Amino acid sequence: MSDCTFCKIVAGRLPSHRVLEDEHALAFLDIRPASPGHTLVVPRVHARDVWEISEFSHGKVADMVHRVAALLKTAVAPDGVNVKHNAGEAAGQDVLHYHVHVVPRWHGDGLRLTWNSSPASARELEKVLERVAAVR
């Protein structure tokens, strides 16, 4: 995709701070990091989101996420890490090339990646499972 920012980064037509790369995926530092070491992992082949990316390509990105998390654990010694993908505007996706955020976390860092939730009844959970089972 000639107009896609992350395709341009993959092709080297835009600069990036590369953390790791292989034949299928690339990891580079987020230009607006939520925390020191915040890294994005993307497939080399353009796909918009988790619904569009192939299972193969998704697997290759997941492998690199695993390697990046290990690298960052040693490099910046975080207390934890968030691994996150946003798909669609409603979920906060801004760049429409599949990417996984790897965000190192520290106690008291003040980042808010949480949501409000409440317990569901067994019946509510079963109703969701019925809908999934109908299309599985």
Q: Is 99 a catalytic residue?
A: yes
Q: Which residues of this chain interact with Zn ion, rule CB under 5 A? A: 1, 4, 6-7, 46, 97
- CA angle, residues 58, 134, 54, in degrees to nearest 5: 15
- Interaction of residue 31 with ligand 5GP, rule CB under 6 A: yes
**Which residues 86-115 are close enough to bind ligand 5GP by CB under 6 A?**
86, 92-95
| Window contacting ligand 5GP (CB under 6 A); options: 26-34, 49-57, 66-74, 128-136 | 26-34
| Window contacting ligand 5GP (CB under 6 A); options: 43-51, 60-68, 69-77, 85-93 | 85-93
Calculate the alpha carbon distances from 82 to 30, 39, 61, 79, 96 in Å: 14, 11, 16, 11, 20
For tokens 């409603």, name the residue.
90
Other CB atoms within 10 A of residue 36 CB: 14
CA nearest to 101, candidates 30, 46, 1? 30
Query: Which residues of the shown chain bind ligand 5GP in the complex (CB under 6 A)?
Result: 5, 14, 16, 28-32, 40, 86, 92-95
Query: Which residues carry out catalysis?
Result: 99
